[in-house]
Structure 1
Amino acid sequence: MTQKTVTRDFEQYCQEIVEKFEIPGFSIGLAKDGQVFYENGFGYRDVENKLPLSPDTVFGIGSVTKSFTSIAIMQLQEAGKLNVNDPVVKYLPEFKTPNEAYTKQMTIHHFLTHSSGLPALPTLFKALSKSIAKDAMSEDDGQTKGDIGAVEQGAQEQQIESVDTFEELMADIAKQEFTLLGAPGTVFSYSNDGYALLGAIIERVSGMTYEQYIKEYILDPAGMKHSVFHLHELVDHDDTTSLYNAQMKDGEAIIFKSNNPWDAPSMRAAGFLKSTVNDMLKYAEIFSSNGKVRDAQILAPESVASITTPYMECDKDRYYGYGVMIIPDFYGCKLIEHGGSVKGVEAHLTMIPELGLSGVGLANLTGVPSMKLLFSAMADQLGKSVTDSHFSYEVVDVPELELKQYEGDYISGEGAKYTVVIEEGKLQLKVEGAGTIPDIKPIGNDTFMVPFRESELSLRFAKDENNKVTRLVFGFRQVPKVS
């Protein structure tokens, strides 16, 4: 049974997390059946000038943008202009990978569900390079971690070939040497490139730019008047957050203002929309009101059902639909969610459609537990503890000799580097730029649970037909073993 208020425990927990992670500003809102019943801002949108947060403060939403992209694809399917089972090359004939047979098998559905077989590629860094070059090298180590990937600073020190258009993106992928993870539809691995190319399909099918399509067919009908891809589009609205970043110095995180938003024109469909708590709570109605926001029918009910179908397992007890993740059993309810993370952004959208319950949390610093706070908000509404987890597992004993097979370096094309070592009989995961993650628990079948921003993610090791470890599966990505 849901309530239409929050408990003191929840507000206290939010305050504790904001202080623990030194979050400059965190804005949160909750709604029931389309009616906002709770909004709060912790901290500031501009710490230095003590500017307060409001429900209309504009933040980046990162990869929550992917759900907008999936809605656009489903709208075009409803209009008879494409089908999710169409081959990608039908619309993007110049799209090529090292495996021509697999490339021809890739469908729009595979891109929507991150099951095309594409590994994480360095194209994201190239797409961001012009933005990163504007960052102050003296105070920014350039590594922003989250679901948009870990991007290494270097654009000011080396000549990076930027990737600014969809055509340049496809040309860059075509000339790269990489191995696809498997036949399309068989392996889940989060792919910003796949979602970027969905933006290209939207442009070619609709005859409009991706950004203009999203504005005309989603943002405007839903009344999301403060949601934009470019801040200069906001007329007479200066309620926007400053961006903050963190740099490790002598083992301590130093938080500083770094008010240079990153942009990647060829990757906007993967994660570069900006929005507000109020606008995102309007948007959430699409999922709980059979595609409607107030009087506007944004999407057909059947399309909403397709988007929220759990197609591919992406983590323990968690699945990917079209641009959203699905937890089938969140204290007995089906929870729909997605996060977004890029420099100065840590966003999370969380919904329980069957209860008409939705929540959004927006922070102006990456690497903070927005997801946990939104999950706690939903748990609070269900009368559960705000600190507990919705799922359980049993820890098993794994002999040190067996753990040895996992040791080695694993490097993602997006720039993340993980090193697995065994110390004192326990598996340790070392993340370049972030140190060692302790307290990793084995739960069997080459799978472990890893503490992650006040929550947990699974860590799994994939093997080949000879039972040899070839990849690490963490953070929704398959990362190849290199040593």
Structure 2
Amino acid sequence: MLRTQQLKTKTTILLVALCAALSGAAHAQTMAHTATFQDSRTTLALDRFAKTLAENLVQSSDYTSVQYALIDVDTILVSGQVGENVKPLNHDTVYGIGSVSKIFAAASVMKLAETNALNLDTPIYRYLPDFTMADPRYKRITARMLLNHSAGLRGDDYVNDALISGDNSTDGYDNFLTILSTQELNADPGAYSVYCNSCFTLSEKLVERVSGKSFTQYITDTFLRPLRMTHSSTPENTSATADYAYFKPEDPSSYWPWIHYNVIASGGINSTAEDMASFARVFMQNGAGILSEDSLAQMQAAEYRRGLWPAEADDSGNYGLGWDSVKLYPFNDLRIQALAKGGDITSHHASLVVLPQQNMAAVVLSTGGSSSLNQQLATKLLLQALATKGIATTSLVEKSFPVLAGVIMPQQLASYAGEYAHSDGRLTITISQAGELNVDVPDADMQSFQYAGNQGFVSPDRSTRIEFVDAANGRTYLWVRRYGTHPLLGQEATSEFQAQKLQPNPLNASTKAAWAARNGVRYYPVKLVYNSERFLTGLPPEEVQVTKDFEGYWGAKRIRDAKSAVSEVQIPGQAGRETQLATFETRGRKEYLHLNDDVLISQQSITALTLDTQHVEIAADGLATWFGLTPATAGYEPQITVPDKGAYAIYDGEANTLHYSVVDGATPITLPEQGALVFAGLPGSTFQIRMVKR
């Protein structure tokens, strides 16, 4: 079956904090489906409002299911679910909450700080003596920097962090400190906040070392059990009898399997909307008492302002400690503080929005969709609930950017034209004397903006404004503000540095020749364990692409020499996350590419599958074995004997997954004319192959 690739959405929103145990009576009131307001006309109307919105969202988007809850003080006013699932959906159906898990890590660190077990501003190597890096600046990293994303780490977790349920190996997490020991920092600790998964995996290590408990046990004892979050778990204590929400892509006829994320603090917790609504009480003014008022105040403060950041504007991303937003739009226009954290893993998405002073929160979990849409749904529910309580929300109006009449662009703005990059790639900015700015992104339609006065350029629909910022660090940034309007959910706002201007990087002749020889060459991942999620979602290879008109770069990576390139962008927020160091290595006649912890093999080092290929043995290094598919084997059905803890996967020429044995078993599959076949397993594992003509 054909599975379209599901990319991890790089959205954000962090969370966190908790408070002392709920009493049994208070909890019973919180979770009761026959709560006091349940019979009121107002609450019934709010319930219908929520259900209608969720149903329309599922019908109009790529959602499989949605589960939601809205809590007021200690009473869940609204709770429901819509969509499809393997088993009928109910309020106990469990979802992966992805990066909303980070709030548990932040709350855990804050709790340990309250007991003086650690100090937020003491370098963490003093608590984690086996934490070292190939960069002496690591000794300046503090717990605060982990929680506000400013530690300066490159930001990606280890390679095998997401596994098909069954064999839940934790080897990658266990060796995480070893992985960090070989890495350098991308920036000075504390210089700016940029979304960082590794910061929270490192905070998980910190919690375990300081508390003397596993992270799972610590959050169970401190939060899950006191708050009676009976349907919340991690990959380490998942219930075999739990009802899970499964994702169903458009093309396949079946649901995807459940996937464990073994970076628990970064994205591995599972929960329900009602459990997370109970957790949200921690952040309310009249909360559960697990964390002190001082801890909550610190977590809700504007941590993003400690380092480089755009000027204040309407936004959905402005970091606190754990929270991705401590000043969420449009609540800021109502002078109401709103905290938000979102999470996106391959098939699950989550959003938590809390109004601490109003003692309210909304949770939206889903299979399919996105955390940003979930956040908009949560926002819509909270605004409606505020209105029913007599809090005026009618002052909120949809916004756009003004365009001043008759303005002429200052000609010095033309100097900002050039090549820009974010950690994912490049874009080209051109600016005409008449004030037209064009943004050219590879494989996308060109976007045009017109000078609108006050040093800014605005899109034709006035939803987006671009300005240039020369920052104190000597770098030039593309500052993009946007009001995005969803027909069902209303408006959201973003404000971020989206790219950094690149400087020329001329190469010497030998370096230029080495990269010219690699230009257009693809590299395939070989470090994946046999049940890696990535085999399921499609494996687009890394392709070296160096441009002639602006030499010295591979995408956003600056070429350093004949065998290495590195991302050097330093962009706060989302656009500068997960930077890469690329190095090339030759083993015998095979060339390998190292991207941080990942290892990939050159397509020129891969042999073509033939009709004579009868067995494949995984080498002692455990790296996966790849074969190219050609017309010579097209139309044949491979009948493969798979060893224990082994798997194979087949891809078409566009890198879409056609067959993955962990999921599809021995279901017959006919080989395409182009594509690839990969075998993965333990060292020494042997696959027997017989080719049958169909």
Is this a same-fold pair by TM over 0.5? yes
CA–CA separation in structure 2 for the residues paired with 1:85 and 1:460: 27
The verdict on how the C-alpha distance between 1:407 and 1:6 changes in structure 2, with shifts beyond 3 A counting, is farther
Equivalence for 2:218 = 213
Secondary structure of 1:334's match? coil
1:305 aligned partner: 297
Q: Which residue of 2 aligns with 1:158?
A: none
Correspondence for 1:67: 103
Do 2:334 and 2:393's aligned partners in 1 also have CA atoms closer than 8 Å? no
Matched, 1:322 2:354: no
**1:115 equivalent in structure 2:** 150
Q: What secondary structure, in the 3-state scheme, does the structure 2 residue paired with 1:53 have? A: coil
The one-letter amino acid of 2:360's match is: L
Residues 461 and 472, structure 1, Cα contact 8 Å, conserved in 2: no
| Helix, strand or coil at the partner of 2:338 | strand
Aligned equivalent of 2:464: 441
Q: Report which stretch shifted further, 34-43 or 317-326.
A: 317-326
Match of 2:115 in 1: 79
Structure 2 CA distance for partners of 1:179 and 1:229, relative to 1, 3 Å? closer
State the partner residue of 1:358: 361
Distance in 2, Cα, partners of 1:458 & 1:133: 41
Q: Does 1:458 align with 2:495?
A: yes
The CA distance in 2 between the partners of 1:476 and 1:371, in whole Å, is 17
Aligned residue in 2 for 1:149: none
* Conservation of the 8 A alpha-carbon contact between 2:149 and 2:195: yes
CA distance in 2, matches of 1:180, 1:390: 38
The CA deviation at 1:25 is: 0.3
Label 1:361 to 1:216 Cα distance change in 2 as closer, same or farther (>3 A): same
Aligned mates of 2:234, 2:99 — CA distance in 1: 13
Secondary structure of the 1:326 match is: coil
Q: Which residue of 1 aligns with 2:77?
A: 37
CA contact (8 A) 2:421 2:502 kept: no
Residue by residue, what CA displacement relative to the aligned partner does 1:164-222 show, whole Å, maximum 9, x if unpaired? 3555222222223x5523x3222110110011000001111111111111111111111
The alignment of Structure 1 onto Structure 2 pairs a total of residues equal to 427
- Residue 379 of structure 1 corresponds to 383
Q: Which residue of 2 aligns with 1:273?
A: 269
Q: Deviations over 1:368-396 (max 9, x none)?
A: 6111111222222233779x778775568
In 1, the alpha carbon distance for the partners of 2:248 and 2:367 equals 6
Shift of 1:367: 3.2
- Give secondary structure in 2 for the equivalent of 1:223: coil
Displacement of 1:406 after TM fit?
6.1
Question: Cα distance 1:462–1:426, how it changes in 2: closer, same or farther (>3 A)?
Answer: closer
Report deviation, 1:274: 0.3
Distance in 2 between residues matched to 1:240 and 1:443, nearest whole Å:
43
* C-alpha separation in 1, matches of 2:446 and 2:58: 23
Aligned to 2:281: 285
2:595 corresponding residue in structure 1? none
Please say if residues 95 and 272 of structure 2, whose CA atoms lie closer than 8 Å, have aligned partners that are also in contact: yes
CA-to-aligned-CA distance 1:408-464 (integer Å, 9 cap, x gap):
46363xxx44545559944447488x9888967224344113576943433425668
SS of the residue corresponding to residue 115 of structure 1 reads coil
Partner of 2:130: 94
Aligned partner of 1:251 in structure 2 is: none
- Asked if the contact 1:128–1:264 (Cα under 8 Å) also holds between the matched residues in 2, the reply is yes
TM-score scaled to structure 1, two decimals? Answer: 0.75
- The question of whether the paired residues in 1 share the 8 Å contact of 2:165 and 2:259 is answered with yes
- Deviation of 1:77 after TM superposition, in Å, equals 1.3
Q: CA deviation at 1:91?
A: 1.8
What amino acid sits opposite 1:263 in the alignment? H
Of residues 248, 256, 261, the one that matches 2:258 is 261
Equivalent residues of 2:155, 2:199 under 8 A apart: no
Q: Which moved more, 1:367-376 or 1:79-88?
A: 367-376
Superposed counterparts of 1:17-56, under 5 Å: 17-46=57-86, 51-56=87-92
Question: Structure 1 residue 197 and structure 2 residue 175: aligned?
Answer: no
TM-aligned CA deviation for residue 63 of structure 1: 0.7
CA–CA distance in structure 2, aligned partners of residues 441 and 399 of structure 1: 20
Whether 1:15 and 2:55 are equivalent positions in the alignment is yes
Which 5+ residue runs of structure 1 have no aligned equivalent? 135-161, 247-253
CA distance in structure 2 between the partners assigned to 1:117 and 1:43 by the alignment: 41
Code of the residue aligned with 1:348 in structure 2: it is S
SS at match of 1:373: helix
Contact in 2 for aligned 1:349/1:374 (Cα 8 Å):
yes
Question: Bigger shift: 440-449 or 463-472?
Answer: 463-472
SS at match of 1:349: strand
1:180 correspondence with 2:186:
yes
Residues 1:475 and 1:241: Cα distance change in structure 2 (over 3 Å): farther
The letter for the 2-side match of 1:213 is Y
- State the partner residue of 2:370: 367
Deviations, residues 138-188 of structure 1 (Å, cap 9, x unaligned): xxxxxxxxxxxxxxxxxxxxxxxx983555222222223x5523x322211
Larger Rg: 2
Q: Does 1:171 align with 2:208?
A: no
Q: CA RMSD in A?
A: 4.0
Change (3 A) 1:64 1:399: farther
Structure 1 contact 395–441 (Cα < 8 Å) conserved: no
Cα 1:343–1:356 change in 2 (3 A) is: same
Higher relative contact order (CA 8 A, sep 6+): 1
Tell me the distance in 2 between the aligned counterparts of 1:186 and 1:429: 30
Distance of aligned partners of 1:7 and 1:165 in 2 relative to their CA distance in 1, 3 Å threshold: closer
Give the drift of 1:76.
Answer: 1.0
What's the secondary structure of 2:171's corresponding residue?
Answer: coil
Q: For the Cα contact (< 8 Å) 1:244–1:258, is it kept in 2?
A: yes
Report the AA paired with residue 327 of structure 2.
I
Seen in structure 2, the aligned counterparts of structure 1 residues 236 and 263 have a Cα distance that, compared at 3 Å, is closer
Contact 1:339 1:371 in 2 (8 A): yes
Name the CA shift for 1:377/1:227 in 2 (closer, same or farther; >3 Å): same
CA distance in 2, matches of 1:435, 1:10: 36
Question: Contact 1:25 / 1:364 at 8 angstroms: preserved in 2?
Answer: yes
* Distance change in 2, residues 1:130/1:34 (3 Å): closer
